[in-house]
Structure 1
Amino acid sequence: MTGNIYISGQIGTFDGTTGVTLADVVAQVKKQPKATAYNVHINSEGGLVDVGFDIYHYLKSLRKPLTTIGSGIVASIATVLFMAGSKRQLRENTPFMIHLPWGGSMGTADELEQFAAQLRQVEQKMVGFYTKALNVQKEAILPLLKNETWLTTAQLSGLGFTTSAQPFKAVAKAYLNTNNPMRGTFNERDRHWMESLFTRTLGRFKNAHVFNKVVQDATGAEIDFTELPDDGVIEVGATATVDGTPAEGEYLLPDGTTYIFEAGALTEIIEPDDAAAPAEESAALRAENKALKRQITHIKNEVLALKKQVGSRYSVEGKKVAARRPAQAERTTGLKQYLQSKPRK
């Protein structure tokens, strides 16, 4: 059985945004105890260096065949996670970028020098990782890291990042602070700088529709909404493909949502609560049916008891008729009284 691990969004929690942590990945693995291999699906712009390496080492410690599959974007520390796979694949139009870690600090000259020294150590760790993982010399990878290189299909295949050639490109970010070179924090100036960098860089691919919406179902199949931007909302009527062909049939997502397609068009979205409703309604109906059956059985028993009682008291037909006569007489008397109570005209 091949399990699936999903790493989507920023790596680590910082700046008020919850990201993917080591605990999240461990929890996914524990839910798949029968898995003998894993597909690791990565869609991340990067994040905290220490969290990224923690996840990388954990994946390697599983000692099971890993296939890393990049989709959407693989950048910065996410490229380290990508290298955990013995098989490494990128889906078409997935940006991929490597760079040196960066960060900012405020303080005295001594504190700034200390931070710079820590940052150098992290740089050396990153360079050492890539040279070993790719089996290249430092001189081959360091210039690419310094220049924040967006790698082409040929470069990724030639350097050994991927084990199967497919079209793509790339992006990244990583953060540090003065207390720990592996942890990240940045000020407002850094934020504006980073946002402007991404705006300028992503602008190159705006017309190429690189960042279209892609989601993965519970089996790892990628549903590609080619006409939706990456931040677009999936609604009924959207069109999508799976493995390059129009999506068809039902696709169950990891969160329990079900997408139903016909000839590539999304015709229905069944939310988890909606999907559970029929089962809940069915259970309620079954319980109600049981209660009704018990009531019917009880009524039948009462009817049988009355029949037995009537049979024992009125065993002769004449007595039965006589038994009904008083009631008829009472009804007639009641009618007369009613008529008499009406005002006469």
Structure 2
Amino acid sequence: MTGNIYISGQIGTFDGATGVTLADVIAQVKKQPKATAFNVHINSEGGLVDVGFDIYNYLKSVGKPLTTIGSGIVASIATVIFMAGSKRQLRENTSFMVHLPWGSSMGTADELEQYADQLRAVEKKLIAFYKKSLNLNEQALIPLLRNETWLTPNQLTALGFTTSRLIPAAPKAYLKPKFNMKGNFSERDRHWMESLFTKVLGKFGHGSIMNKVVQDATGIEIDFTDLPDDAVPEIGAEATIDGEPAQGEYVMPEGQTYVFEAGVLTEIIEEDAAEEVAMLRSENKTLKRQLNSIKGEVLALKRQVGSKYSFDAKKASNRRPAENDRTAGLREYLRSKKGK
């Protein structure tokens, strides 16, 4: 069986936004103990370098065949995670970008120099990683990274990022309108990155934000047709699965359970609550079995009591003729006395 791992959105939690962590990836793997191989689905603009390398190292340590599949966008540190697969594929219209790490800092000149040294250390780590993974020298790599290069499918194959042809794109979009990178950004940084991403959307023909599509822990796609891609599903949202109204319960990679009735999201059960609900349902089933058992015992008692009353009634009816005979004999005796 081939399991599925989903890495969607920013890598790491920072700047007030929750992202994909190493713990999230480990949890997905642990929930699929029977998997003999994994497909790692990546749709990420990047994020924290350390977290990205942690996820990459963990995936490599799983010891099972990995196929990484990029869709929507694979950028920044997400490209490092992408390299964890022995087979590496992209869906059509997927944006792929590499660059040098960057961020911003405030402080004294000494503090800024210290931050610059740390940033250069991260640069060296990334360059060394790409050199080893792609078998390229620094003269080939550094210009690509320095210029924030968006690579074409042919370039990706030639450089060694991908190992097979593009996967035909499904008629859905997974792109997000914003993304965060490593560091504490100023408003100017955010506006610059948002404008850059807007240009990318225009370049690849995504002029508007598409509907929200999420995948559960088994890979089933849930399409929230009325929600924009950056929205968070809430109770009351309508969704379809394979074109049909969503129905039933679906466990998400983060541990939440979405409950649908006739295409409407009626309940979102958090992971801890889901365990409690499961326990309560189990207890409810046990109580129902006990109640049915008690009902059976009551019916049996009723049958026994009914049978006893019927038996006593028969005995009483059997006694009546004897009682009538005695009464008749008494009357005959009295008549004979009168005659005397």
Corresponding position of 1:315: 318
Deviations 1:75-105 (A, max 9, x none): 1111110000000111222222111111111
The answer (yes or no) to whether the contact 1:42–1:74 under 8 Å persists in 2 is yes
Which of the numbers 304, 316, 320 marks the counterpart of 2:307?
A: 304
Q: 1:283 to 1:203 in 2, by over 3 A?
A: farther
Corresponding position of 1:80: 80
Q: 1:72 to 1:104 in 2, by over 3 A?
A: same
Q: 1:1-345 residue pairs with structure 2 within 5 A?
A: 1-166=1-166, 173-176=180-183, 185-207=184-206, 213-220=212-219, 229-231=228-230, 236=238, 253-255=250-252, 257=258, 268=263, 289-318=292-321
The answer (yes or no) to whether the contact 1:213–1:229 under 8 Å persists in 2 is yes
The answer (yes or no) to whether the contact 1:217–1:252 under 8 Å persists in 2 is no
Which whole-Å CA distance do the structure 2 matches of 1:251 and 1:91 have between them?
29
Q: 1:252 to 1:165 in 2, by over 3 A?
A: farther
The answer (yes or no) to whether the contact 2:12–2:47 under 8 Å persists in 1 is yes
Which whole-Å CA distance do the structure 1 matches of 2:221 and 2:149 have between them?
27
Which whole-Å CA distance do the structure 2 matches of 1:197 and 1:16 have between them?
21
Q: 1:207 to 1:273 in 2, by over 3 A?
A: closer
Residue type at the aligned position of 1:19: G
TM-aligned CA deviation for residue 32 of structure 1: 2.2
TM-aligned CA deviation for residue 35 of structure 1: 2.2
Deviates more, 1:44-53 or 1:31-40: 31-40
Deviations 1:291-319 (A, max 9, x none): 43333222112111222333344423558
TM-aligned CA deviation for residue 223 of structure 1: 6.5
Corresponding position of 2:333: none
Which whole-Å CA distance do the structure 2 matches of 1:236 and 1:172 have between them?
26
Q: 1:229 to 1:153 in 2, by over 3 A?
A: farther
The answer (yes or no) to whether the contact 1:88–1:163 under 8 Å persists in 2 is yes
SS class of match (1:46): coil
Q: 1:137 to 1:228 in 2, by over 3 A?
A: farther
Deviates more, 1:294-303 or 1:196-205: 196-205
Residue type at the aligned position of 1:268: G
Corresponding position of 2:331: none
Which whole-Å CA distance do the structure 1 matches of 2:43 and 2:52 have between them?
13
The answer (yes or no) to whether the contact 1:49–1:174 under 8 Å persists in 2 is no
Percent of aligned pairs with the same amino acid:
58
The answer (yes or no) to whether the contact 2:10–2:180 under 8 Å persists in 1 is no
Q: 1:223 to 1:70 in 2, by over 3 A?
A: farther
Which whole-Å CA distance do the structure 1 matches of 2:57 and 2:140 have between them?
24
Which whole-Å CA distance do the structure 1 matches of 2:54 and 2:206 have between them?
37
Q: 1:95 to 1:172 in 2, by over 3 A?
A: farther
Q: 1:252 to 1:121 in 2, by over 3 A?
A: same
Q: Extract unaligned runs of 5+ from structure 1.
A: 177-184, 261-266, 322-345
Residue type at the aligned position of 2:309: L
The answer (yes or no) to whether the contact 1:223–1:247 under 8 Å persists in 2 is no
Residue type at the aligned position of 1:44: S
TM-aligned CA deviation for residue 54 of structure 1: 0.7
Q: 1:270 to 1:286 in 2, by over 3 A?
A: farther
Which whole-Å CA distance do the structure 1 matches of 2:299 and 2:323 have between them?
28
SS class of match (1:47): coil
Cα RMSD between the aligned structures?
A: 3.8
The answer (yes or no) to whether the contact 1:11–1:48 under 8 Å persists in 2 is yes
Which whole-Å CA distance do the structure 2 matches of 1:8 and 1:320 have between them?
94
Which whole-Å CA distance do the structure 2 matches of 1:248 and 1:305 have between them?
58
SS class of match (1:68): strand
The answer (yes or no) to whether the contact 1:8–1:44 under 8 Å persists in 2 is yes
TM-aligned CA deviation for residue 34 of structure 1: 2.6
Q: 1:214 to 1:139 in 2, by over 3 A?
A: farther
